[in-house]
Amino acid sequence: MTDSLTDPMSLAARISKKGLPPVHKWNPEFCGDIDIRIARDGTWFYMGSPIGRQRLVRLFSTVLRKDDDGEHYLVTPVEKLRIEVEDAPFLVVQVDEQNAGEHQRLYFRTRTDDVVLADSEHPIWVEFSDQGEPSPYIEIRNGLRGLIARNVYYQLVELGTELETADARQFGVWSSGEFFVLGETQ
């Protein structure tokens, strides 16, 4: 048995959206705030204490939604509860690659075991702080983003290549025929 995200048998099961509730289609009544917070490091807290049961965190993550107001909610067909998210609701903890160059495919796994393939629907991007610190992200699902952990970001940098355009030379990675910019080069 392999832990690789690119194992065809386990990958098909993980990447499938079958089984995820259609929270983006539900329109329940807003019921208020609940004291749940997702920290920048991906830890879920309830009333100030970490939620230690990974299965419970996974369950909550499947009913998580970000609405047009920019807020995050736990949603069921009849309830909608606002939660606090410090940065991104998901933390990306692993990347596996298949192939190389323009034919490369990058698979990302979150702390809650969501697996996504970086492509046009799941882009990678980097935001920089005023001090120039990078915060890399990938779209996980339905407007929910994942913060790419520092060690995974370093793996991306190792996989990176330069691409020269008419305007600039960019540094980034290929996945699913798309080039995702990690930064500009001089």
Top-tier CATH class for 24-85: alpha beta
What is the value of pTM for the model shown? Answer: 0.86
Question: So what's the pLDDT on residue 24?
Answer: 86
Per-residue pLDDT of 37-50, as tens digits, reads 999 999 999 999 99
**Where are the chain's structural domains?**
24-85, 90-185
Pick 5 or 182 by higher pLDDT: 182
In this structure, are residues 139 and 145 in contact, taking their beta carbons and an 8 Å threshold? yes
Residue 6: predicted pLDDT: 44
pLDDT of residue 186: 64
Architecture of the structural domain at 90-185: Roll (2.30)
The pair of structure tokens assigned to 57 is: 């965190």
Q: Are 178 and 105 in contact (CB under 8 A)?
A: no
HSE of 8, CA atoms in CB hemisphere, 13 A: 0
pLDDT in tens, 14-29: 444 456 788 888 999 9
Alpha-carbon span 75 to 29, nearest angstrom = 9
- Of 87, 86, 47, 81, the C-alpha closest to 67 is 81
In which band, very low, low, confident or very high, does the pLDDT at 7 lie, cut at 50, 70 and 90? very low
Residue 141, Cβ neighbours under 10 Å: how many?
20
Summarised one tens digit per residue, pLDDT across range 87-124 is 999 999 999 999 998 999 999 999 999 999 999 999 99
Kindly report, residue by residue over 124-173, the tens digit of the pLDDT: 999 999 998 999 999 999 999 999 999 999 999 999 999 887 778 899 99
- pLDDT at residue 42, rounded to an integer: 94
